[in-house]
Amino acid sequence: MARLVVMGGGVSGHTTATFAKKWLGDEHEVVVVTPNSHWNWIPSNIWVGVGQMKKTDVVFPLAPVYEKAGIDYRQALAKEIHPNGKEGSDKPFIVIESTKEGESGQREELEYDYLVNATGPKLNFDATPGLGNGKGQMGTNTVSVCTADHAVHANLELQQLFEKAKKAKKDGTGERQKILVGTAHGMCTCQGAAFEYIFNIEHEATKAGVRDMLDIKWISNEAFLGDFGMGGLHMKVGGYTVSSKLFAESLYAERNVEWIIGAHTSKVEDGKIEYELLDGTKHEETFDFAMLIPPFAGVGFKAYDKDGSDITDLLFAPNGFMKVDAKYDAGAYENWKASDWPSTYQNPSFSNIFATGIAFAPPHLISKPMSSPNGTPINPTPPRTGMPAGIIGKAVAHSVCNMIKKGKDVTLHRASMAEMGAACVASAGKGILDGSAAAMTVYPVVPDFEKYPGTGRDTNYTFGEIGLAGHWIKHILHHMFIWKAKLKPGWTFIPE
């Protein structure tokens, strides 16, 4: 009997674990280690953040689902990896610390035959002074929509701001409220989530009758609007091939949302941020309400050899993400190739360890690297959205199951982001009759300029369109992926 341990129960880890258990059956063990008691459909957190959904609409408890699937579920934080075992035992293991009520802090050594790191990102709030509380958690100067709880809090603050605006309008004081949404560091990703949030705020403000009392502004580290960490995309519209920049700027202009781009937020205070632009100049921006996405890092594992020596550098890149079969010495931007990107997600030092979703270390950015004359890097880091995260998770599950059943030397399944597309739907306002969303596909996710000279992508399969249809699709995807994650009938037929 072999044991697969999956660290992380998000989109990628949950996909890996559930498919692996389905394919391995009762003959082998699948263990999921996650500090969370609930699964969160993160794409809908933005709707919680504007009061259009409740927390219970976007989360569900994991324990009953894993029990139904026959998966061993440990509500715990994985802290250490010992890939060569310890003195007296060659069996690899991880050290986990319980987060379950009543057992919090209890440590355990969990042996494994195969290990998948699907831990997602550490929300690195403390990377920007004033954004965090100094202890790794979000501070009090801004709000976030990265987790369901953060989004609940964000909505409370937003509604208070709407009330202020309504009162000012009613009293005729003319007092305006300033809203700032975007990224909180020069190396953030997840611009798409911030994009959704700012336009949902704008949509809700219009419905609430207070849009004319608000100044809504965007700030991000993108060199151009519509970059989204992917270097933007090109699509065919009206006989032309057009950059996403044009349509992104159009939406901001249409909705009266000013933008600051090429910005590294260097400090956050109560009601104010300081930021540096690509030209090296430094500025301040005040706000009454700010949602700024924190930069991501790996969750901070330590790895130890059999003799107790620290081998963290062997498994992890300096940013804390796990090394996989990527080309980490690709060098300058001019030398980047699609083939730099990993395809099997196997750690090069330990063939029984894999990393999926956000947890793997990308070889480099997708967007063009930029920095200010002061040497400050200001460029989006690569996004790993739900579809690629799920596809990678499933491919790794396939690979591990084959290794368990047929031996370690089987050909592994491939899922390179340079050979797969992504379908994304970015909400611009919720409403079954008056909502809208930008429905997009990009193929491939990581541009391949050798295969598709000029745009890096196949423009026959890369497109974007905003409208009510996009909103219907996003709403259906919400229900569909929660159905799938709950392992309800037919769940395997829903593609990642």
Instruction: Tell me which residues touch other proteins (CB under 8 A).
Output: 246, 249-250, 252-254, 256, 258-259, 387, 391, 420-423, 433-434, 436, 439, 441, 443, 461, 463, 465-470, 472-473, 495-496
Instruction: State which residue, 238 or 489, has the beta carbon closest to other proteins.
Output: 238
Instruction: State which residue, 387 or 485, has the beta carbon closest to other proteins.
Output: 387
Taking the complex as a whole, the smallest distance from the CB of residue 63 to other proteins amounts, in Å, to: 30
DSSP 112-141: -SEEEE----EE-GGGSTTTB-SSSSB-SS
Taking the complex as a whole, the smallest distance from the CB of residue 431 to other proteins amounts, in Å, to: 9
Nearest residue to 356 via CA among 313, 407, 413: 413
How far apart CA 343 and CA 326 sit, in angstroms, is 8
Taking the complex as a whole, the smallest distance from the CB of residue 422 to other proteins amounts, in Å, to: 8
Assigned token pair, 199: 């336009």
Taking the complex as a whole, the smallest distance from the CB of residue 70 to other proteins amounts, in Å, to: 25
Contact 389, 357 (CB under 8 A): yes
DSSP, collapsed to helix, strand or coil, labels residue 157 as helix
How far apart CA 119 and CA 132 sit, in angstroms, is 21
Listed in order, strand segments (DSSP E) in 255-386 are: 258-260, 263-269, 272-277, 282-286, 289-293, 296-297, 302-303, 353-355
Scan for tokens 């196949």, then name that residue. 458
b (16+ CB within 10 A) / e for 311-320: beeebbbebb
Contacts of 163 (CB under 8 A, 6+ apart): none
Assigned token pair, 341: 């990107």
| Encoded amino acid at 448, one letter | D
Instruction: State which residue, 263 or 299, has the beta carbon closest to other proteins.
Output: 263
Instruction: State which residue, 212 or 310, has the beta carbon closest to other proteins.
Output: 212
Taking the complex as a whole, the smallest distance from the CB of residue 157 to other proteins amounts, in Å, to: 27
Taking the complex as a whole, the smallest distance from the CB of residue 127 to other proteins amounts, in Å, to: 28
Taking the complex as a whole, the smallest distance from the CB of residue 29 to other proteins amounts, in Å, to: 27
Instruction: State which residue, 242 or 314, has the beta carbon closest to other proteins.
Output: 242
Instruction: State which residue, 130 or 362, has the beta carbon closest to other proteins.
Output: 362
Number of Cβ atoms within 10 Å of the Cβ of 400: 29
Contact 380, 188 (CB under 8 A): yes
Taking the complex as a whole, the smallest distance from the CB of residue 55 to other proteins amounts, in Å, to: 28
- The phi, psi pair for 364, rounded to 5°, reads -175, -175
Segment holding 47, helix H or strand E:
helix 45-48
How far apart CA 176 and CA 210 sit, in angstroms, is 10
Taking the complex as a whole, the smallest distance from the CB of residue 201 to other proteins amounts, in Å, to: 18
What's the sign of the alpha-carbon dihedral 224, 227, 231, 235? Answer: negative
Taking the complex as a whole, the smallest distance from the CB of residue 331 to other proteins amounts, in Å, to: 28
The angle, 0 to 180 degrees and rounded to 10, between the axes of the packed helices 148-171 and 191-208 is: 40
Scan for tokens 């099997």, then name that residue. 344
Instruction: State which residue, 194 or 391, has the beta carbon closest to other proteins.
Output: 391
Instruction: State which residue, 6 or 422, has the beta carbon closest to other proteins.
Output: 422
Segment holding 72, helix H or strand E:
strand 72-82
Instruction: State which residue, 291 or 425, has the beta carbon closest to other proteins.
Output: 425
DSSP, collapsed to helix, strand or coil, labels residue 485 as helix
Instruction: State which residue, 124 or 416, has the beta carbon closest to other proteins.
Output: 416
Taking the complex as a whole, the smallest distance from the CB of residue 195 to other proteins amounts, in Å, to: 16
Instruction: State which residue, 82 or 430, has the beta carbon closest to other proteins.
Output: 430
